[in-house]
Amino acid sequence: MRASLLQIDVEDDESVKSRRLRVSSLVREVAEREGPDLIVLPELWTTGAFGYEAFATEAEPLQGPTYEAMAEAARDAGVWLHAGSVPERAPSDGGSDGALYNTSLVFSPAGELAGAYRKIHRFGFDKGEAVLMGAGHELVTVRTPEAVLGLATCYDLRFPELFRGLVDAGAEVFVVPAGWPARRRAHWSLFARARAVEDQVFVLACGTAGAHAGVEQAGASVVVDPWGEVLAEAGPSGAEVLTVDLDLAKVAETREQFPALKDRRLGVAEPRL
- The verdict on whether 154 is a catalytic residue reads yes
- The verdict on whether 250 is a catalytic residue reads no
The answer to whether 210 and 217 are in contact (CB under 8 A) is: yes
- The verdict on whether 119 is a catalytic residue reads yes
Exposed e or buried b for every residue in 53-70, given b needs 16+ CB within 10 A?
A: ebbeebbbebebebbebb
Q: Which residue in the list 129, 154, 172, 206 is annotated as catalytic?
A: 154
Q: Which residue in the list 43, 58, 129, 172 is annotated as catalytic?
A: 43
> For residues 85 and 116, what is the distance between their CA atoms, to the nearest angstrom?
9
Q: Which residue in the list 58, 88, 119, 240 is annotated as catalytic?
A: 119
User: Is 257 in a helix, a strand, or coil?
Assistant: helix
> For residues 190 and 203, what is the distance between their CA atoms, to the nearest angstrom?
12
**Count of Cβ atoms closer than 10 Å to residue 25 Cβ:** 11
> In 3D, which of 18, 74, 12, 10 has the Cα closest to residue 44?
10
- Among all residues, which ones are annotated catalytic? 43, 119, 154
